[in-house]
Amino acid sequence: MRYLVLTDIHANLEALDAVVADARARGYDQTLVLGDLVGYGADPNAVVERVRSMKPTAIVRGNHDKVACGVEQADGFNAVAKSAARWTLDVLLPEYRQWLAALPEGPIDVDDTVQICHGSPFDEDAYIFDELDALRALKIASRPLCLFGHTHYPVTFELSADGFDSIGASGAAESVLKMRPGVKYLMNPGSVGQPRDGDPRAAYAIVDTARQCVELMRLKYPVEEAQAKVIRAGLPEVLAQRLAVGR
């Protein structure tokens, strides 16, 4: 099975379309979505429609999805995120709002190899940045490969009898992580629509369970188009600026 893995699309249709076209050319069977389809970007309706039409095998909600459909208040959000969330709540069609509101909380076990969540397997809203939280997540992960999003920062942590390690993003347009037997992996493939690791290219992954490997991709997309839409929508300008720098 080859799973296309998408996380943190954040209503960036240009990034999503580029990623899906690239993934189709490489070949995949099913789609996994780790949440935050909307929030920040200018195309929440189109992105929800696209993702829904892909009929994901497994999908979990993100914190922005919850706020954008009114399931949760924007209390923990900063001013920019709050203003984008309010805009998204206003423009989302009722049908898509309801669809987002019905998304399940993670983690979800996809098969014998893969588990998905938005923030962490112990709390859907927790950010995994440091090794302590990564270790905690690895210990309770139910599958050899636990995929997460939320930080918009591509990274892989691994836990084996030999110990604990973290592997940063390679920066290459394409890299492959070969999974070894007896090792547990906790991986963030990086954000499709709002990367924050200083690399503006869209990030995504394809998990190949037969070959026991993960292909990690970074892909150029029409950033200027996404930026122009953010400005035209009247969203905070900083949301357009950050797309060009990946911060």
Shortest CB 208 distance to Zn ion, Å = 25
Give CA–CA dist 60/231, Å, rounded: 29
| AA identity, residue 31 | T
Is residue 197 part of the contact set for Zn ion (CB under 5 A)? no
Which range of residues in 1-9, 89-97, 171-179, 210-218 is near Zn ion by CB under 5 A? 1-9
Residue ranges in 31-90 that form contacts with Zn ion under rule CB under 5 A: 36
Residue ranges in 157-186 that form contacts with Zn ion under rule CB under 5 A: none
Shortest CB 152 distance to Zn ion, Å = 6
At how many degrees (to 10) do helices 79-91 and 44-53 cross? 70
Residue closer to Zn ion (CB basis): 67 or 179? 67
Contacting residues for 91 by C-beta, under 8 A, at least 6 apart: 44, 45
Residue closer to Zn ion (CB basis): 122 or 127? 127
Is residue 8 part of the contact set for Zn ion (CB under 5 A)? yes
DSSP code, position 210:
T
Shortest CB 94 distance to Zn ion, Å = 23
Residue closer to Zn ion (CB basis): 8 or 22? 8
Bridge partner list, 92: none
Give CA–CA dist 193/35, Å, rounded: 12
Which range of residues in 29-37, 45-53, 105-113, 219-227 is near Zn ion by CB under 5 A? 29-37
Residue closer to Zn ion (CB basis): 85 or 159? 85
Bridge partner list, 158: 165, 185
Are the C-beta atoms of 71 and 103 separated by less than 8 Å? no
- How many chain residues bind Zn ion (CB under 5 A)? 2
Shortest CB 90 distance to Zn ion, Å = 20
Shortest CB 54 distance to Zn ion, Å = 19
Structure tokens at 134: 């990564």
Contacting residues for 162 by C-beta, under 8 A, at least 6 apart: none
Give CA–CA dist 235/218, Å, rounded: 26
Give CA–CA dist 10/37, Å, rounded: 5
Give CA–CA dist 247/242, Å, rounded: 5
Which range of residues in 5-13, 86-94, 206-214, 228-236 is near Zn ion by CB under 5 A? 5-13
Residue closer to Zn ion (CB basis): 144 or 200? 200
Which range of residues in 3-11, 91-99, 121-129, 178-186 is near Zn ion by CB under 5 A? 3-11
Which residues here bind Zn ion, judged by CB under 5 A?
A: 8, 36
